[in-house]
Structures are given as structure tokens and as C-alpha cells.
Structure 1
């Protein structure tokens, strides 16, 4: 791995009003794109079996994004946010979960099918408790075998309502922040876009799939801008690079989707785990969450 601290950073425009500080996802198109990307990445990958499971899961998410019953809007005039929503919404995202599991069960073999059936048998109260724990970053409180499917269902539900939240937000008030301004979740990675101008950086939410602008060469975790480094596997023009912070020792991947529109934040983060391993050896810790790679971690370590 090569340290690429001398990669030039495109300066911000003198007219910041030209950029959108917050972008809503189109869930159907996003999940379809993710499934297509996962299919491409599966070829010759040591993670081929798992990537194939994730591809099928993304296709089910796309189906549900188009056809599921999401119930009444959880957004109120008093609470125009998805950061804290009432327990009355549990029945609806759990309905999405049961549909997701039923569809996935038809496409998987043992032992995945056994895990799916076991999750389908859990009580609504238990599932609601696990869902809240995941959204609060308390990953170790949820059985690891269930986390992928729980988050996938919540992702479909939260991404469905996120555009409504964004429409009601005053985008001029969106500030630089490490967590999603729509739902409060961690990003999965940074994406570097070339529109409306080259080099704009957005953080991609791991839950509601929204993206919010974040200035480059600033740590997306602690915000400092003096001790930052960029890393890549091969050269300065790599499509996936890592930005690390010498202050908090956190890192996040940067995906240059402007150069490679076929990339997907979740899929390509998952496909570049070798970078995570090498950054870990250097003493850095990921400050991001990949919804397809949830595992037991100490609370608050994300």
C-alpha cells in the first residue's frame, strides 16, 4: 500500500451555494445498481459466496423499495427527522423484514436458510430491541448472524422516508458533521463526485442512503484538517483511496465515483477489505459502518 499524501485536493468553489449540501437517494435505482455492482465484483473474488448473498439481498431490497407497504409517514411537523422515531413504526419496518426474509428464503440454501427461518420466528418485541440496538451502534447486543438482515430491512424503510425528510429540511442549516443529518447513522464511505464540479466529497449514509457534503482534507470523524494522509493500493489515481487522521487515528475510504460511475459505496467498500486490514496494521480504526459487514464490536467503537 502506498501513502499518497501528495494527491492534490480540489479547492472548494468560491460560490458554495452551487453545491447541494444534502442528497436524497432513489432507493429502487440504488439497490438495483448495487446488485449489478456486486455481480461484477463477485467474479474471481475470495468473497464470492458472500458477495452473491449480498447481491441477492440487494435485489430483494429493490423489489421491496418498489412494492412494500411502508405504512403512514413517521415524519411529523414536530419531528421532521428520522433520528428518533416512535415505536409505532416498528410494525412497518418489521413487516418489510418479514417480506425480505420470505423472499430471500426462496433463494438461499443451508445454512443461510436456517438463519433466515430462525429470525422469522423471533418475537416482534425482540426484533424491535435488536433494531434499536443496531441503530444506536450497540452492535454487540445483536446476534451477528441476524444483523445483516435486520439492517437490510431497516435500510429499505429508512431510505423510503429519507427523501421526505430532506424536502422538509432547511439545507442552508446543514453543517459539517460525522453522522447523517437525516437519520443520525454513520457513513459507510466517502464518495467523490464530479458534478456540479470536480472533486466534491459526500459521506454516504449506511442506513438511509442519503449523502451529505463534507469538505475534503478534513477528518470526517473529529473534523481536524492538519494531520491527514491519503493511502492507496497502487498509485495516486486509484479509484478507491483511504483518508486517515493522525489525530484520532480513524479512517474512511474515498470512492472516486466521478471517475468510475459503476462503483457503489457499500459494494466497493466490502470488496476492498484488504485496505482495512492494512490500515489496521498501521494502527488506524474505521470510523464508518458497512451494512453488509456488521460484526460484533465494542459499543461506541464505530
Structure 2
């Protein structure tokens, strides 16, 4: 840029975004970048871990993300939907690669093994043995865990193994979405389009982890929902609840600190991470603002702001989406011989 020149970036108000909502958004769908997705998530998790009460867990998640980066680079070609299958899904407003119904290729288990192999050399002693047990788990048990995780069934889900199973499924679905998008690049028949349920991913039908505001062209503040499974992002205007699509009673909650410790909620702060709440349906979803912090990453910042979930849930609101790397269920419902891995911590009150 020449000396003295200035660049103008327009930050749209919710009203302006709504006004534009009647037409096509600047970019209706953003697909993940295989070269940067998990690498950037790993870097962000390490950054957020510094001084955090959940430091060890965030570092472990960073290691998993780094292993996902390597596993994604090694994914083979996966069976893709035919043009007829894509057209049929579009005709009824469904995603072409539904997480709970699309046949899983065995390559996802190979990705799990690759991730564990990357983690083993640096894992602490207690986790080392647990990872080895998971590495040797039977294929049928892993498929059962994947069915429960992708189907949203917490009963019988092994909470300790779930983050690693989820990590492999994320690698597999990200690869599948990107391969399918490349195979159907023609404008007249793209692989992915809007589906009937705007609250779900148009690629795989999964719920979002969070939403993120991005700059698109010269316009900042475009809101996208970030898929918890395949990392695709789809556009949704900012004055709509991502659960019920109402815009009548939205509010934004941030953490309020006292003596450096987050102890309560406030609707005043302009933090990079907030909870977008809806009184109409009683749900909320976090929103991360890249214009306030250009390094935010939806999955990483969601994990690091667990206290915000705890405080918002105490008000009676239910989270719309989920983070597959931190789930809650009934680990005792499975036989005791099910393998164990490092357990996701429940952050104590006062976590950042």
C-alpha cells in the first residue's frame, strides 16, 4: 500500500447484515483448508494454554490437532457420493454426506492409529498405556463408539476415548468433504448447497461448535457457523438465533473477571469470545470475533472458555452445538474392558 494511503473496512451492524440477508451472502459456504486447519488449531491451543487452569488438557488437545494435521495429509481417496446421490439429497434439502448415515470407510480407523502413533512418543506415562490400549481396540468396538458419537448418543459413549475417536472422524470427514468438493467443481452442480435445516452443516448435517465473524472482501462481521465434524462454515446473519432462527431476544454474554479470575457474566464487555443467547428457545452458542482477535479459532477458543459454558448453563440455557473434543455422557454403560485414554477435565470455577 502506498505511503499515506488508507484501507477502509466496513463493519456491518446487525441491522445492515439483516438487510443484506434477503440477497445472497458474500460467500455462503467456506470449506476448510487442509494445509492450515489443524495446524492453526494446534498453534491457537498452545497459545491459549499459557497460564490457563486447563493447561495440560489444552496442550494435549494441541498435540492431537498436530497429529490430525499429519493424518489428514496422509488420507487416501475415499468413496464419494455420485451425482445422482447429490441431486437426490438436494431435492429433499438434506446434506449429501450425513454423519449418522454415510457409510464410513475403514480409513478413519487408520487415521485413529496414525494419530495415536504420533502421540505415543511424547505422552506421559499414564496416558502412554491408555493410548496403547486404544491403539489395540477391536474394530467393532471403535465402530460402535463412532456410531454413538456421530449419532449424539451419550449413553455408553466412552468419554475417555471419545476425543481421539472424534479426532479421527474429523480427519476422515474433512478429507471426504474436500475430495467431494473437488470432484464436483462445476458451477451448475456443486457438491454442497444450503439444506432445509439452516442450523446444521450443509455438508455433513452436524451441529456447529461455535460461530465466527469473518471479514469477507471489504466487509467485516460476516457470521459463519463452524461445523463440529468437517470444519465447513456456512453463513448465517448475525441477528438470527442459530437454534430457532428467531431474532427477537438475542443477547451476548461475556466473562467478567474479578482479581483476574472469571467469576460472573456480563452483557457489556466486547470480548473476542461471547455466548449468544436466545430467550425465545432457551439455547445459546458461542461466537468468536476475528475482528477483535484475528487469532481466534472456533474449536480451540471454545475449549478454552469452558467457564463461559458453565456460567451460562447455570442460567437455565442449553447449548445448541457441541465440541466433539469435550463431551459428557455415561462412561460406565460400556463393559469395563473398554479401553481408556486421558480423560477430559471438568474445569474448576474460575477457569479463563
TM over 0.5: yes
Deviations 1:38-58 (A, max 9, x none): 111111000010011011111
Closer, same or farther: CA 132–76 of 1 in aligned 2, 3 Å: farther
Structure 1 residue ranges (4+ consecutive) displaced by more than 4 angstroms after TM superposition: 170-176
Give the equivalent residue in structure 2 for 1:39: 46
Aligned mate of 2:243, from 212, 221, 231 = 221
SS at match of 2:35: helix
Deviations 1:59-86 (A, max 9, x none): 11111122x2324333322334221322
Closer, same or farther: CA 21–250 of 1 in aligned 2, 3 Å: same
SS at match of 2:237: coil
Q: Distance in 1 between matches of 2:192 and 2:116?
A: 36
2:149 aligned with 1:143? no
Q: How many residues are treated as equivalent by the alignment?
A: 289
Give the equivalent residue in structure 1 for 2:63: 56
Q: Which moved more, 1:167-176 or 1:74-83?
A: 167-176
Give the equivalent residue in structure 1 for 2:207: 186
Closer, same or farther: CA 113–78 of 1 in aligned 2, 3 Å: farther
Q: Distance in 1 between matches of 2:223 and 2:72?
A: 26
In the TM superposition, residue 92 of structure 1 has moved relative to its aligned partner by 1.0
In the TM superposition, residue 105 of structure 1 has moved relative to its aligned partner by 1.4
Closer, same or farther: CA 116–284 of 1 in aligned 2, 3 Å: same
Give the equivalent residue in structure 2 for 1:5: none
In the TM superposition, residue 171 of structure 1 has moved relative to its aligned partner by 5.9
Q: Over aligned residue pairs, what C-alpha RMSD do you find?
A: 2.2
In the TM superposition, residue 126 of structure 1 has moved relative to its aligned partner by 1.5
Contact 2:97 2:203 in 1 (8 A): yes
Q: Distance in 1 between matches of 2:83 and 2:145?
A: 28
Give the equivalent residue in structure 2 for 1:120: 135
Gaps of 5+ in 2: 1-12, 87-95, 185-189, 257-267, 332-352
Q: Distance in 2 between matches of 1:297 and 1:222?
A: 28
In the TM superposition, residue 175 of structure 1 has moved relative to its aligned partner by 5.6
SS at match of 2:213: strand
TM-score after normalising by structure 1: 0.88
SS at match of 1:141: coil
SS at match of 1:276: helix
Q: Distance in 2 between matches of 1:294 and 1:71?
A: 30
TM-score after normalising by structure 2: 0.76
Q: Distance in 2 between matches of 1:95 and 1:147?
A: 16
1:66-85 equivalences in 2 (<5 Å)? 66=73, 68-80=74-86, 81-83=96-98, 84-85=101-102
Gaps of 5+ in 1: 1-7
